[in-house]
Amino acid sequence: MKKIINEPAAFVDEFVEGILLAHPDLLKTPGDDLRVMVRADAPVAGKVGIVTGGGSGHLPLFKGYVGHGLLDGVAIGNVFSSPSSSQVLEATKAVDGSAGVLYLYGNYGGDVFNFDLATDMAELEGIKTRTVLGRDDVASQPKERAADRRGVAGIMFAFKAAGAAAERGDSLDQVAAVAEDIIDHTATMGVGLRPTILPTTGKPSFDLSEDEMEVGIGIHGEPGFHRGELETADNIAKTLTDRLVADLSLTSGGRVAVLVNGMGATPLEELYVLFRRVHQALTEKGITVEKNYVGEYATSLEMAGASISLLALNDDRLALLNAPAQSPFFKEG
């Protein structure tokens, strides 16, 4: 597959540099390392800082959510690779406003290892941290092992809510509790149609025939639970929605926020076709859609496919989603 890149090894640094040059009013690097990015006004005195991190290739996840009312900093890894513990620590120190720092990132082994190391190093620097893991991918583990699930697009809800809580002045424990609450009430499932091509290898991340789809696929091409003939948009939307509703134990009278997320190569028109059927399926069950997001929120380079996320709402969660926020890739309120 053709790509608009220079040297594959320079890909990450060059697109990060491009983001910084495009948005100097919103973002900065605290030092010389382009792999650490923070909001332009960081640190904000007295405010809990929120740091995320993960592999590149998922824009706007993770770096696209750094900004007012969202995240304060991000540590950036290579494509589909974890950032280093030293990069996490640098981001932590750059956003620490003396109220502590929340680590909010996806549940992947390399990320957990390096963020845990950064936790120990931050403690030596006198910075208090808490960790909340995104774990919304219902296809990756059954309900009884929900703590081991992968973090995928639904973590966006936690970014938004935790960011709003930090912005209004909540304590570190309170911001962490908000993030945990959102994660506990979020469920996501995806479908893949075509693999991504890694810049460093030029090879597809998995094999899938032109007439096949993979249900439950991860954002790095991790296998799902069903591979079969490509179905209609309505069937895909209904299948995913039914599984998410069951996982969250939603019933008639329930309220939800819906995220229909494109994986990178799926036209926006197709995402709206999916949202149409998701909305219908929820309405048929007596569940009210009170908030929706349709677009690319967590991609996998040029993977074709989409994911659907549901967040069970109450008044507090909805208010946090509706709070003002701005980053280069997100605006609310």
Q: 218 and 270: one domain?
A: yes
Q: 156 and 265: one domain?
A: no
| Within-domain flag for 333 | no
Q: 68 and 42: one domain?
A: yes
Q: Determine the Cα–Cα distance for residues 223 and 308; give it in Å rounded to an integer.
A: 17
| Within-domain flag for 127 | yes
Residues marked active site are found at 58, 220
Q: 204 and 176: one domain?
A: no
CB 277 within 8 A of CB 209: no
| Within-domain flag for 111 | yes
Q: Torsions phi, psi of 96, nearest 5?
A: -70, 115
End-to-end CA distance of the chain: 39
Q: 172 and 277: one domain?
A: no
Q: 173 and 235: one domain?
A: no
Q: 261 and 156: one domain?
A: no
pLDDT tens digits for 7-23? 999 999 999 999 999 99
At 39, which CATH number? 3.40.50.10440
Residue 62: which domain range? 8-184
Q: 226 and 158: one domain?
A: no
∠ CA 320-218-206, rounded to 5°: 155
At 311 the pLDDT is 98
Q: What pTM value is reported for the model?
A: 0.97
Q: 157 and 256: one domain?
A: no
- Sequence-distant (6+) residues with CB within 8 A of 71 are 39, 50, 51, 52, 62, 65, 104, 159, 163, 327
Q: CA nearest 135: which of 78, 68, 185? A: 185
At 294 the pLDDT is 98
At 333 the pLDDT is 63
**Cβ atoms within 10 Å of 169's Cβ, excluding its own:** 12
At 259, which CATH number? 3.30.1180.20
| Within-domain flag for 1 | no
| Within-domain flag for 225 | yes
Q: 93 and 152: one domain?
A: yes
In total, how many domains does the chain have? 2
Q: Determine the Cα–Cα distance for residues 98 and 100; give it in Å rounded to an integer.
A: 6
| Within-domain flag for 136 | yes
* pLDDT tens, N- to C-terminus, the chain (333 residues): 789 999 999 999 999 999 999 999 999 999 999 999 999 999 999 999 999 999 999 999 999 999 999 999 999 999 999 999 999 999 999 999 999 999 999 999 999 999 999 999 999 999 999 999 999 999 999 999 999 999 999 999 999 999 999 999 999 999 999 999 999 999 999 999 998 888 888 888 788 888 999 999 999 888 889 999 999 999 999 999 999 999 999 999 999 999 999 999 999 999 999 999 999 999 999 999 999 999 999 999 999 999 999 999 999 999 999 999 999 999 886
